[in-house]
Structure 1
Amino acid sequence: MQELILNIKKKSVFVKLQPELIKDLSLTFFFAFSMIMFEIFLTRLFAVIFDYNYVFLVISLATLGIGIGGYFAYQFPILFRSLYPFALCGQGVLLIGVTSLIYLTPFQGITFYSILSTVPFLFTGYILASIFQKLHTKVHVVYFIDLVGASLGASLAILLMNHLSPIPMISMLSLALFLVGSILVFTQLKKAAKVMLIMILALLMINIFSPFLTTERFLSYQTSPYTTFSEQEGNIIYSEWDSFSRTDVYDAKDGDFLYMTIDGGAVSSISRFDGDLNTVDYLQMNTSDLAFQNPKEKERALIIGSGGGQEVLSAEMAGYSKIEALDINKGSFNAVHSLRSFAGDVFERDGVETIVADGRNYIRETTNTYDLIFLSLVTKQSDSGLGLALTENFIYTNEALRDYFNKLKENGQLSFLLHDEKELAKVIHSAESYYQERGIPSNEIKNHIAVVGSQHIFGHVVAEPGSIERPLLILKKHPFTEKEATKLFDSAANIAQLPLHVPYRFDHYKDLANRLHDTAIPFKANRDAQPFFFHKNDGIPSFLWIGLILISLGTSVMSLIYRKQVPVGSMVYFSGIGIGFMLIQVTLIQRLTLPLGHPTWAFVIVLTTLLISGGIGSAYSTKWKREEDRRFVLILLVAFLTSVVYLLIHFYYQSELALSTFQRTLLVITMLIPVGFFIGMPFPYGMSRLKKHQISISWGINGLMTVAGSIVAAMLSLTFGMNLTIIVGIVVYLLLFIFQPLLKM
């Protein structure tokens, strides 16, 4: 009888604990879900406020809050009891509150935004570290929920921002969090607290239908020094914002022109056009028009970076019958179409085909060949890792030039309109490499190349004495004929532009080459393995050093304070898997951008696959754990499988394999699932070997070093290339496997 009573008591205790366990796991899911969405949102928000370099720094500093939250969870565990019931409600209020302060406050500088955006991450880190510590015997389950929540949050963030734009997305997220939190806590509240809860919920609902945050109130953007147009210089008459970019069109009262910006910069003009090409014949006075005049045959042209459509009009006036207008930013086409009463819907004209794609990916996959391939001021400096990695641009690399030339007809030409002489130097360096590979003697390369600089744009002088502004670079498979060179030289003279080198007629290639081959320009950062075209100076940017130093100091201080509570070996282990994971993840996102065809798509596929499969791996991690094992052998599998995947990616880059988007996506997911499955195991394995009071500090160390890992990945990729970056990530896991017995976990 007593045994029966004891069994009943045990079962009743289990029943009482079960709802609380469900609540703990629900909190873990929603915090992971909301935090990855907020991080992606901040990336897009800061992309339009700052220069793209600073976006990486601010996001890195903000996400430090997750690691610091582990410190607070250890230092103030009692606080968790009072925050626990209201955690989701607090998260919802924090997200909309921080967003409103960033959005509605005039530009304040990097320090202000870094500190402000850290608050939700700090709160998330505190709650999650506390839950991990509370459920220390079920870490593998909690980590599974954490990773699944993060993966779904990342995917949904991209989807919602593409359909709603970022601000409505964060408003909906805040409302959802507050609503779920209210449901969980409502019955436990007194009447006054219930009334307050309902009032806040009503305000959040009103915000969905009548937003407090509108385009007109985006003060931080309108007052930012990084925004091309100020309120005094032009009014925004069109705006579109998605997961990739913000597209604005300004009316600067110029009459015949509107100006389109991408993320506040990268300006392109939209011409007033009524369908009569004679009304835009002034476009023939620009340097870019020279690119369309020279080819003998003018059947098909590909324009990469079609912007506001002026190059399409130039191609039509030059006589091209088939024009492919390609842009990675769908917002550019939408803007011109929306303003068709002004722009004449230039992209919908007969013979014009619009393509939303990455130019490099498209040129690899298309079966078309071209008389002209023209890259016009392609400047979308998007951080393809959405805050996790630095900018990469595969359309200007050495390997890209080979792909372009492969799709040119024999008498076709490849042209680039660039911003300055540093960009010109990089592309010419790549062109020389291509011609040398084809066996063309060094002294003959100059006859395949012509360069014309811009003296003016629509009559406005843009070039200072001695400077090279908006140069047009023309490359040909075969040498220019004297007739072609004469025509180009005379055409440049007729529109008062500046020939810098034209074979036979203005042969200044040696002088130009000596000027451009400045040792300060990192020419090596122009390969597929190191595609940082907009990184124009040698050395690692200072903002990366600042971030790494701050993280290192914070980690060192935490390690010194808690070295007696947490073994040094555990700190090394959790630091290692944090850094190793980010080195691998960031590099895979970067390298798979080209195969998947779009940086946003690469981010979603890689991150979602790794997190979901990693979560499943976490749930199964206990199956391979034995207390007597001195090493967790599956760490070795992470290194092995990552090596295999990276070799397959390298094979794709070297091959001319043509697959559909669906096939490439399916192949990538299939490759990444085994890597993610095993990469999700080392963290819960390590946590399972800790004592309860060591969990939160170890969480904090791992969080800090995860951010450090993303910065180290950027530094290594910029300096040595992505191949070395992922090798270092693989070596980190190998070292953890080899030296694990010495860590004495």
Structure 2
Amino acid sequence: MALFTDADSMSVITNFDNQLSNLEYLDYVSSALPYHLLDKPRVLIIGAGGGSEVLSALYHGSSLIETVEIDPQVVNLVKDEYAYFSNQIFSHPSVKVFVAEGRGFIQSSQSKYDLIQLALLDSFSASSAGVYALSESYLYTKEAVKEYIRHLNPEGILSITRWLKLPPRDGIKLFATAVESLQELGVENISSQLIFLRSWATSTLLIKRSPFTSPEIRIIRDFLKERLFDPIWYPGIKFDDINHYNILPEAYYYQASQNILFGERQKFYADYSFYIKPATDNSPYFFRFFKWKSLPHLLKTMGGQWFPFIEWGYIVLIVTLAQAILLSLILVILPLFSLKKKAASGNKLPIFTYFLSLGIGYMFIEISFIQRFILFLSYPIYAVAVVLAAFLFFSGWGSYVSEKIKIKRLSTITLAVVAIVVMALIYLFYLEDIFNLFIAHSDIVKILLSLLFIAPLAFFMGMPFPLGLARVFSRAPSLVPWAWGINGCFSVIATVLATVLAISLGFDLVIIIALSLYILAAVSFRKVDFSLKKY
């Protein structure tokens, strides 16, 4: 029985008549390999879906199976509504089902596993079409891979299976992520702890906490030969061993693995047609592959067939940004022609700079904090709701308090900006360590802590805007709507621009830019005073 999520991502609920022997076909997929290297493993499956990976673990004799599924409705369908059809696999004595987000679950767990399995967590069609290009995924970052490895037993294996796509993109990016993760963990002989293979439709990467042994390599070679799978990398592989069964025009994957392991890795990243540098928690866009400089090459070599290889989500984002900038400039400039002659005669650049800086700076920090708190709260919807509520409420309180302060006191805006910069920098460098102290607590505790962490920063971020409006009102009241409009227009631009910058540069730099804008706003605040004295 097919189970579709959002009319796209498909998993399967299987009626196997309570006979594990009926599941033999599950031994002929690439993700089955680790079970041939482990004896009665303790398994963690991230992404339970309809239960196919759980069935595979049961078929291969796993002693304990813990599976994590983020969608409670999926668990309910398999465990309750279709319990008879699924043969109650989620109620099997060896199976424990957790409704949780995978990364958050493993970060809060102290358990060790013989096998951690991530298999086909997104649909082939959506992945191929590039609709995930703007989707943050903290499951495939370097930090995530290192966290998985830390939760393995000494001989444990991490197995990640993805759809095979041509030209090669995410399979190579995943391999690069594994290599750099092992390197950062201090592994000296990285190549000895990796296995990479492909079938006609999928690629599977195995990362072992210790080197693969010669007997294990023989088992792997037999597994591949019996199932007509092609090796991409295993310790001791030779060029003659590759591209025998599911033949590609060139040995793309093998050549990529060689360059990443033994070649000039950074040069390979730069020269490759797609963006394959590993994703990080700072820029968790694993599905971002588009490179502007490769567009002419794609057009030249593929003609009209290049369309499926473009991350359209990213292109739409750029077009949206361009539209927002154009419309905002029109809406900011046109009102100047309708202002009174007296108000229109002075220098308005400080006003423009001040409210532009606040509009962009505020949204940059808010959006960056939403992303950071996803890791802490596990669920994106929790992070959005909590962070937005905290910023709106405590910024509003800061705005209210700022009204009690005399407009002429320059130290008020200086104090607010200094507080914003100091607190944001503290969070920038230490928030991850703070999160690790409380990651295992309940959701309600983490939500309350999130509000507490955000409160002081948001409080001071609420002060500059009303202080600036009051300063403008005291000198040129007719410019207040214009100033407000500048802030609003560039707040809209900032929501798109923050994502564009985060994809390319990371959220840390987005925060640094925001703090620079707040400092610029503080400088402009004094100039607003001088530029408006003549009105």
TM-score range, shorter chain: 0.7 to 0.9
Alignment of 1:179-328 (within 5 A): 258-295=1-38, 297-328=39-70
Shift of 1:279: 2.6
CA distance in 1, matches of 2:377, 2:365: 17
SS at the partner of 1:530?
A: coil
Alignment of 1:113-124 (within 5 A): none
Is structure 2 residue 217 aligned with structure 1 residue 473?
no
Q: Give a deviation string over 1:230-255, Cα, whole Å, max 9, x none.
A: xxxxxxxxxxxxxxxxxxxxxxxxxx
CA distance in 2, matches of 1:644, 1:439: 28
Q: 2:177 aligns with which of 430, 437, 442?
A: 430
Question: Residue 336 of structure 2 aligns with which residue?
Answer: 563
Structure 1 range deviating more: 282-291 or 694-703:
694-703
CA distance in 1, matches of 2:325, 2:237: 58
Question: Residue 89 of structure 2 aligns with which residue?
Answer: 346
Q: 1:701 aligns with which of 471, 486, 494?
A: 486
Shift of 1:400: 1.5
Check whether the contact 1:485–1:505 (CA below 8 A) recurs between aligned residues.
Answer: no
Alignment of 1:510-529 (within 5 A): 511-514=255-258, 519-529=272-282
Question: Residue 120 of structure 1 aligns with which residue?
Answer: none
Q: Give a deviation string over 1:214-236, Cα, whole Å, max 9, x none.
A: xxxxxxxxxxxxxxxxxxxxxxx
Q: 2:110 aligns with which of 342, 367, 371?
A: 367
Question: Residue 531 of structure 1 aligns with which residue?
Answer: 284
Check whether the contact 1:631–1:741 (CA below 8 A) recurs between aligned residues.
Answer: no
Alignment of 1:457-606 (within 5 A): 469-504=201-236, 511-514=255-258, 519-539=272-292, 541-563=314-336, 565=339, 567-606=348-387
Check whether the contact 2:332–2:485 (CA below 8 A) recurs between aligned residues.
Answer: no
Q: Give a deviation string over 1:504-561, Cα, whole Å, max 9, x none.
A: 4666686351588552343445111111111122359322321222122112222322
Shift of 1:439: 4.5
Check whether the contact 2:413–2:463 (CA below 8 A) recurs between aligned residues.
Answer: no
SS at the partner of 1:271?
A: coil
Check whether the contact 2:194–2:235 (CA below 8 A) recurs between aligned residues.
Answer: yes
Question: Residue 623 of structure 1 aligns with which residue?
Answer: 404
Paired amino acid for 2:368: T
Check whether the contact 1:418–1:472 (CA below 8 A) recurs between aligned residues.
Answer: yes
Residues 445 and 361 from structure 1, CA distance in 2 versus in 1: closer, same or farther, beyond 3 angstroms?
A: same
Shift of 1:414: 0.6
CA distance in 1, matches of 2:254, 2:203: 17
Paired amino acid for 1:347: F
Question: Residue 735 of structure 1 aligns with which residue?
Answer: 520
CA distance in 1, matches of 2:433, 2:325: 37
Residues 512 and 656 from structure 1, CA distance in 2 versus in 1: closer, same or farther, beyond 3 angstroms?
A: farther
Paired amino acid for 2:23: V
Unpaired runs of 5+ in structure 2? 127-132, 243-252, 261-267, 293-310
SS at the partner of 1:624?
A: coil
Paired amino acid for 1:301: V
CA distance in 2, matches of 1:398, 1:433: 7
Question: Residue 445 of structure 1 aligns with which residue?
Answer: 190
Paired amino acid for 1:453: R
CA distance in 2, matches of 1:396, 1:380: 16
Check whether the contact 1:486–1:505 (CA below 8 A) recurs between aligned residues.
Answer: no
Paired amino acid for 1:325: T
Shift of 1:684: 2.4
Q: Give a deviation string over 1:327-385, Cα, whole Å, max 9, x none.
A: 22223212323223332232222121111222222212111100000111223999xxx
Shift of 1:647: 2.6
Is structure 2 residue 471 aligned with structure 1 residue 726?
no
Number of residue pairs matched by the alignment: 465
Question: Residue 110 of structure 1 aligns with which residue?
Answer: none
Structure 1 range deviating more: 685-694 or 484-493:
685-694
Shift of 1:629: 3.6
Residues 672 and 631 from structure 1, CA distance in 2 versus in 1: closer, same or farther, beyond 3 angstroms?
A: closer
Shift of 1:652: 4.2
CA distance in 2, matches of 1:302, 1:571: 54
Q: Give a deviation string over 1:542-593, Cα, whole Å, max 9, x none.
A: 2232122212211222232223537443333222211111100000011111
Residues 395 and 635 from structure 1, CA distance in 2 versus in 1: closer, same or farther, beyond 3 angstroms?
A: same
Question: Residue 416 of structure 1 aligns with which residue?
Answer: 160
SS at the partner of 2:12?
A: strand
TM-score w.r.t. the length of structure 2 is: 0.80
CA distance in 1, matches of 2:524, 2:59: 68
CA distance in 2, matches of 1:375, 1:626: 57
CA distance in 2, matches of 1:628, 1:438: 52
Paired amino acid for 2:327: G
Structure 1 range deviating more: 516-525 or 444-453:
516-525
Paired amino acid for 1:679: M
Unpaired runs of 5+ in structure 1? 1-257, 383-388, 456-468
Residues 357 and 380 from structure 1, CA distance in 2 versus in 1: closer, same or farther, beyond 3 angstroms?
A: farther
Paired amino acid for 1:569: P
Is structure 2 residue 391 aligned with structure 1 residue 610?
yes
Q: Aligned-pair RMSD on alpha carbons?
A: 2.7
CA distance in 2, matches of 1:277, 1:557: 67
Question: Residue 304 of structure 2 aligns with which residue?
Answer: none
Q: Give a deviation string over 1:106-144, Cα, whole Å, max 9, x none.
A: xxxxxxxxxxxxxxxxxxxxxxxxxxxxxxxxxxxxxxx
Shift of 1:720: 0.8
Check whether the contact 2:439–2:446 (CA below 8 A) recurs between aligned residues.
Answer: no
Q: 2:468 aligns with which of 677, 686, 694?
A: 686
SS at the partner of 2:154?
A: strand
Paired amino acid for 2:450: V
Check whether the contact 2:354–2:524 (CA below 8 A) recurs between aligned residues.
Answer: no
Shift of 1:657: 6.7
Paired amino acid for 2:192: N
Check whether the contact 1:394–1:531 (CA below 8 A) recurs between aligned residues.
Answer: yes
SS at the partner of 2:328?
A: helix
SS at the partner of 1:632?
A: helix
Is structure 2 residue 379 aligned with structure 1 residue 647?
no
The share of aligned pairs that are identical, in percent, is 28
Question: Residue 300 of structure 2 aligns with which residue?
Answer: none
TM-score w.r.t. the length of structure 1 is: 0.58
SS at the partner of 1:703?
A: helix
Check whether the contact 2:355–2:521 (CA below 8 A) recurs between aligned residues.
Answer: no
Residues 572 and 563 from structure 1, CA distance in 2 versus in 1: closer, same or farther, beyond 3 angstroms?
A: farther
Check whether the contact 1:500–1:512 (CA below 8 A) recurs between aligned residues.
Answer: no
CA distance in 2, matches of 1:642, 1:284: 51
Shift of 1:656: 7.3
Q: Give a deviation string over 1:396-449, Cα, whole Å, max 9, x none.
A: 1112121111110011111000123422212211221233335544xx433221
CA distance in 1, matches of 2:437, 2:374: 16
CA distance in 1, matches of 2:256, 2:325: 44
Residues 268 and 716 from structure 1, CA distance in 2 versus in 1: closer, same or farther, beyond 3 angstroms?
A: same
Check whether the contact 1:625–1:685 (CA below 8 A) recurs between aligned residues.
Answer: no
CA distance in 1, matches of 2:411, 2:460: 18
Shift of 1:716: 1.1
CA distance in 2, matches of 1:544, 1:505: 42
Residues 380 and 492 from structure 1, CA distance in 2 versus in 1: closer, same or farther, beyond 3 angstroms?
A: closer
Check whether the contact 2:177–2:278 (CA below 8 A) recurs between aligned residues.
Answer: no
Q: Give a deviation string over 1:590-613, Cα, whole Å, max 9, x none.
A: 111112222111111111111111
Question: Residue 677 of structure 1 aligns with which residue?
Answer: 459
Check whether the contact 1:372–1:415 (CA below 8 A) recurs between aligned residues.
Answer: yes
